[in-house]
Structure 1
Amino acid sequence: MQPYRLIDCGFHDELEALATLRQRCPIVYQDVDGVTQTVESRIVDVYAQGGADFIKLQTGTIIRADYLLSVDGKAIAFANSPYSCA
């Protein structure tokens, strides 16, 4: 597994907003084998574990945040520095 790449705070906030609103949305991500997957689901949790952020979908699928390509039509944004959310 590759080292975690920190996502932008604004993108993280959007993930949390989608989870709070319980809104179904298209989610495009790369799985651990590097294959692009597309699903439409609700994000039920956004959490940090072991130095990385994750989202959990209503299907039970867990996706490491830096493997996301786009959520609800918005491309992932990465942080410019490890302290960009401070």
Structure 2
Amino acid sequence: MGFGFIIIIRILFVTCMVFIIGYVFGGFSKRPALAVITKVAAILIIVLFIATNIMAVRNNFNRFKGNNCPWSRCDTTYRQEQKHP
């Protein structure tokens, strides 16, 4: 879920940047509909920046706690296989 969410955030970020660059350097400011979409994109880019930072911090905290470590459950798997009846 986390990796897919990061990919979606990056795609939306690039889309927002296209609208903002089109507004500044292109003709988006002349058409009212594109100007409104660009304003929404500017707000969305701030939200996406905050969401990306939240995901990065959560990932780092989970890594420090050991929840994201691939070796965290190796000993329990080994113990379960070694049970003697």
- What TM-score results when the alignment is normalised by the length of structure 2? 0.26
Larger radius of gyration: 2
Q: Which has the higher contact order (CA 8 A, sep 6+)?
A: 1
Which is helix-richer, 1 or 2? 2
